[in-house]
Structure 1
Amino acid sequence: MRRARRAGEGGGFLREVRLNPEASTGRYPYTLPVVRALARSEGLALDAGVTFLVGDNGTGKSTLVEALAVACGFNAEGGSQNFRFATRASESSLGDSLLLTWSERKPRTGFFLRAESYYNVATEIERLDKEGGRPLLPSYGGVSPHERSHGESFIDLVTHRFGPHGLYLLDEPEAALSVRGCMAVLARLAELAGQGSQIVVATHSPILLALPGATIYGISDEGAIERTDYDGALPVRLTRDFLAAPERYLRHLLDEA
């Protein structure tokens, strides 16, 4: 694994993630390719601004982002560090085995967006807003996420809840977004990075990966993490190849069906 830089040199709030050398690696999730790569390395350096994790299904990128969130003190189902609800425990034990290196700067705010459980987060937002005290919905666009489409609620979140000097961990935010929605989120991530925020994103979206200045790490099935550029990122290469000659892929795929 090529490290982007030495820990402690520049960067955002979270500078490096390592796997505890005493962690048991003979069972899930420690058998995932990304965790095997961490176990063989000195650690994964995280730059300031936006870092993307890309790889095929099963490489463990979402599991790593979830574990990062847990290790940072965020609720495993999503939300801020103040969210403490639990619907159904499905997170892995990896978060307990990560060793994080922090800078002296501390984030002013933060959020973990886990696309698959954002419905549960929206329910908790409604509950907290109704409890009284400081209204919560204005931070999410003034409307309950349950009263917006899935994609609209994601855009409301990054537009109104995310702010400068924050730490944001996003697991496949494109899951609910149209192409135009992905473009809107790309623009917002660029704005947040320019305001001193640090963002780590697991994604399959070629659109989000086009963000200028972002760091992209590719995770292979064989258990390697390598820094790559936009043109070399797996979602970009596969999407370009498919759009250039869909009939070639369709012939192969449909012949197998």
Structure 2
Amino acid sequence: MASGDEASDLGRDSGGFLRWVELTDDGRDRSAYPFTLPVVAGLRAAGRLTLDPAVTFLAGDNGTGKSTLIEAIAVAAGFNPEGGSTNFRFSTRATESSLGEHLRLVRGTRKPRSGFFLRAESFYNVATEIDRLGVADGYGGASLHERSHGESFLDLATHRFKPHGLYLLDEPEAALSVHGCLALLTRIHDLTQAGAQFIIATHSPILLAAPHARILQIEPDGTIRHVDYDEAQPVLLTRSFLVNPQRYLRHLFQDGV
């Protein structure tokens, strides 16, 4: 699991395709979105966000800016804002923030042979574009619309994700069952063993268990902490709930259960 030594985190020599992320042009207006997000304040305070050469997770509560940062890194790396590979250039509705224009990506010496940005909320649009381009053969041989949401996510990871690739995933667990999360965890592990790099925003305690992953937890005040698996918020809360769900239900429902 990830080490909790934040000081060594900043000095680690990352051998991935992306080594770290930092803000540029700090003279901008900080009172407007997306620069009001906790993660942007945390990135500014830290100076850089060091990425693991294999797997980096962004964890934290809703509203801390995990998805916005993943999207911004993807845009800065040349991916389509709605998802897909660097060759996808469709646009259904431009909703991405301007944060990607203010990020500097420090790259490693290797170049990825493949890559993909999986954005759960707009994956329907990506599947439609794959059909329009007539490239479904590279995604399992049939239209992703002909499979369930979860099946299409797993088919993407199985057939489209390749060794020596750069993959940015925004809450991939959104469509997956527990078994699906375990299958994706296995695929991530196999690909990192073959030289792939993943950056993933997630709430899933299952995905966070990826061996040797770097877990960066974004706190509500913007602090970005490098935490162990057992310290990660999704793990702590899920464990606590499963041990005694009635305690939580009594607190949530004042009329009792």
Separation (CA, whole Å) in 2 of partners of 1:206 and 1:91: 27
1:10 pairs with one of 11, 14, 27 = 14
Moved over 6 A (4+): none
The residue type equivalent to 1:10 in the other structure is: S
Give the letter aligned to residue 197 of structure 1: A
How far 1:23 moved relative to its partner?
A: 3.5
**Residue matched to 2:194:** 195
Moved more, 204-213 or 113-122: 204-213
- 2:52 matched residue in structure 1: 47
Residues 192 and 23 of structure 1: CA distance in aligned 2, closer, same or farther (over 3 Å): farther
In the alignment, the residues of structure 2 paired with residue 153 and residue 210 of structure 1 have an alpha-carbon distance, to the nearest angstrom, of 23
TM, length-normalised to structure 2: 0.94
Quick one: structure 1 residues 127 and 174, their matched pair in 2 at CA, closer, same or farther if it must change by over 3 Å? same
Is the partner of 2:189 in helix, strand or coil?
Answer: helix
Give CA-to-partner distance per residue, 1:30-60, whole Å, 9 cap, x none.
1111100111122010011111110000000
Matches within 5 A, 1:33-112: 33-112=38-117
One-letter code aligned to 1:194? Q
Partner residue of 1:132? none
- 1:194 & 1:24 partners in 2: Cα distance? 42
- Gapped regions of structure 2 (runs ≥ 5): none
Give structure 1 stretches of 5+ with no counterpart.
130-135
In structure 2, give the amino acid aligned to 1:226.
Answer: R
Rounded to whole Å, the distance in 1 between the matches of 2:119 and 2:28 is 25
Q: Secondary structure at the match of 1:255?
A: coil
Q: Distance in 1 between matches of 2:202 and 2:20?
A: 20
The 1:231/1:88 distance shift into structure 2, 3 A limit, reads same
1:171 corresponding residue in structure 2: 170
- Please state whether the residue corresponding to 2:43 is helix, strand or coil: helix
Contact conserved, 2:209 with 2:229, CA < 8 A, in 1?
Answer: yes
Give yes or no for the alignment of 1:156 onto 2:155.
Answer: yes
Q: CA deviation at 1:11?
A: 2.1
For residue 48 of structure 1, give the secondary structure of its aligned residue in structure 2: coil
Question: Scaled by the length of structure 1, what TM-score is found?
Answer: 0.94
Matched letter for residue 15 of structure 2: G
Q: How do 1:129-148 residues align onto structure 2 when only pairs under 5 Å count?
A: 129=134, 136-148=135-147
Alignment length, in residue pairs?
A: 250
User: Residues 140-165 of structure 1: CA distance to partner in whole angstroms, max 9, x if unpaired?
Assistant: 01111100000000000000000010
Deviations 1:116-175 (A, max 9, x none): 00000000000000xxxxxx2121011111000000000000000000100000000000
Which stretch of structure 1 is more off in the superposition, 10-19 or 71-80?
10-19
> What amino acid maps onto 1:198 in structure 2?
Q
1:178-217 paired onto structure 2 within 5 Å: 178-217=177-216
CA apart distance, 1:83: 0.2
Shift of 1:256: 7.9
How far apart, in 1, do the equivalents of 2:53 and 2:143 lie? 32
Could you tell me how far apart the structure 1 residues matched to 2:118 and 2:90 are?
Answer: 14
Aligned ranges 1:215-254 → 2 under 5 Å: 215-254=214-253
Cα-to-partner distance string for 1:178-221 (whole Å, 9 max, x where unaligned): 00000000000000100101000000000111111111111000
Residue type at the aligned position of 1:2: E
Q: Which amino acid aligns with 2:223?
A: A
Is contact 2:217–2:232 with CA below 8 Å preserved after alignment? yes
